[in-house]
Structure 1
Amino acid sequence: MTSASADLLIDRPAVTDGAALWRLARDSKTLDLNSSYSYLLWCRDFAGTSAVARGADGEPVGFVTGYVRPDRPHTLLVWQVAVDGSQRGRGIAGALLDGLTARLAAEQGVTDVETTITPGNTASERLFTSFAERHGAGLSREVLFPEELFPDGPHDPEVLYRIGPLTHVPAH
Structure 2
Amino acid sequence: MSRRGSAIECAAQGPAEWFDDLFGRYFPRVYAYAVTRVGTAQAEEVASETFAIAWRRRDVVPDVPLAWLIGVARNVIREQYRDALRQDLIAAELTAWAASTPVSGDVAELVADRDVLLRGLAALPEQDREVLMLLGWHGLSPREAADVLGCSRPALTMRVHRARRRLERRIGGAAHTARRESGGTDE
Q: Calculate the TM-score normalised by the size of structure 1.
A: 0.25
Greater Rg by CA: 2
Q: Whose strand fraction is larger, Structure 1's or Structure 2's?
A: 1
Q: Whose helix fraction is larger, Structure 1's or Structure 2's?
A: 2
